[in-house]
Amino acid sequence: MVNRLAVNLCGIPMQNPLVPASGSFGFGLELADTLDLNLLGGISLKGTTREARFGNPTPRIAECTAGMINSVGLQNPGIEVLVSEKAPALRRIYRGVIIANISGYSVEEYAFNCGRADACPDIDLLEVNISCPNVHGGGMAFGTEPKLAAAVTRAVKEVTEKPVFIKLSPNVTDIVSIAKACEDAGADGITLVNTFLGMRIDIARRQPVIANKMGGFSGAAIFPIALRMVYQVAHACRIPVMGCGGVQRAEDVIEMMMAGATAVQVGAENLRNPMACPEMLEALPELMDRLGIKCLQDIIGVV
């Protein structure tokens, strides 16, 4: 029987397009007792830097209307622990696509981390988070400038044979120019979007809710903006897109795919409901019947 949910992501077969987004699902291992991980098309692991990081001071979570702000600040155990412990441990219990999410504070760090991830046979795909500040370039995020984004892309493509997706920040004026710069520099795909820079104030204490003042806003509220950006990028680029931002139900998955996403990531919704992905997967076949969709692969970019 044909798997109606199957998609092909730049040559990698996926049993379905659903991927918990980086940062919303730990290293997968944390949820192994809660749900059947093997239901998931892929898992994007927690963003990893060269050195271990504690991240930002707490509070680093703020609730919002239809969303939330996080300022976790890339807490992670470092690239060596990822490749020697986390990814192998996940591979022992998980058959789907394992995506390493790589961060860095310099082009050299991105290349180093991707080189280490390339050498790990348990990692199928690299997703490079270019929303980090460039510490050698005045702190501006790599993902806000086409030339910088391209420089990171070229550097990581040189050190890996694995498919490389560049994960874009939405906090830019022209997302298409960044995406095209990554494509021209050799990216195999684009993940978009990361979180939107946001802020909340505790009006009783007259202070920001988040210790770091600002953080990344995500959740249902950003869905229309994320969808618009996925649509723009998917139509401007030839490489595949993983759509991410505010997805919380099966209808949103279909919508993201119609906009041009080949795979669909689920982020903040996992924090509200750890079973979000399995529940969406369960709802998809009936929804597809109702919409006259035979296979998900058929609807990618139909709009």
Partner 1 sequence: MLKKIFHIGSNSPVAHDTFRLVLETDASVTVRSGQFVDIALPGRYLRRPISVSDVLPRGLVLYYKIVGEGTREMAAMTPGTALELLLPLGSGFGPEKCREKALLVGGGLGAAPLYLLARELLQAGKHPTAVLGFNRADEICLAEEFRALGVPVHVATLDGSVGTKGFVTDAIAAEKLQADFFYSCGPLPMMKALCAALDIPGQVSLEERMGCGAGFCYGCSVQTLEGPRRVCADGPVFDKEVVLW
The contact set with partner 1 (CB under 8 A) reads 23-26, 30-31, 33-34, 46, 54-55, 58-68, 70, 72, 75, 209, 219-220, 268, 270-275
Please identify, using beta-carbon distances, which residue of 78 and 137 lies nearer to partner 1: 78
Q: What is the amino acid identity at position 88?
A: P
Q: What is the amino acid identity at position 143?
A: G
Query: Is residue 237 annotated as a catalytic residue, yes or no?
Result: no
- Shortest spacing between CB 168 and partner 1, in angstroms: 22
Rg (CA), the chain: 18
Contact of 156 with 169, CB cutoff 8 Å: no
State both tokens at 116.
């280490």
Please identify, using beta-carbon distances, which residue of 185 and 221 lies nearer to partner 1: 221
- Shortest spacing between CB 75 and partner 1, in angstroms: 5
Please identify, using beta-carbon distances, which residue of 64 and 176 lies nearer to partner 1: 64
Please identify, using beta-carbon distances, which residue of 247 and 288 lies nearer to partner 1: 247
Contact of 6 with 285, CB cutoff 8 Å: no
Task: Mark 167-188 as b/e (b = at least 16 C-beta within 10 Å).
Answer: bbbbbbeebeebbbbbbebebb
Please identify, using beta-carbon distances, which residue of 68 and 239 lies nearer to partner 1: 68
- Shortest spacing between CB 204 and partner 1, in angstroms: 9
Q: Which DSSP symbol is given to 83?
A: I
State both tokens at 255.
């919508």
Of 122, 192, 113, give the one whose Cα is nearest residue 160: 113
- Measuring CA to CA, how many Å separate 221 from each of 88, 123, 209, 242, 243? 35, 32, 19, 19, 15
- Shortest spacing between CB 250 and partner 1, in angstroms: 18
Q: Is 63 helix (H, G, I), strand (E, B) or coil?
A: strand
Phi, psi for 300 (deg, rounded to 5): -60, 115
Q: Where are the alpha helices (DSSP H) in 8-50?
A: none
- Write down the catalytic residue from 114, 120, 132, 277: 132
Q: Name the pairing type of β-strands 42-44 and 7-9.
A: unpaired
- Shortest spacing between CB 62 and partner 1, in angstroms: 8
Catalytic residues: 132
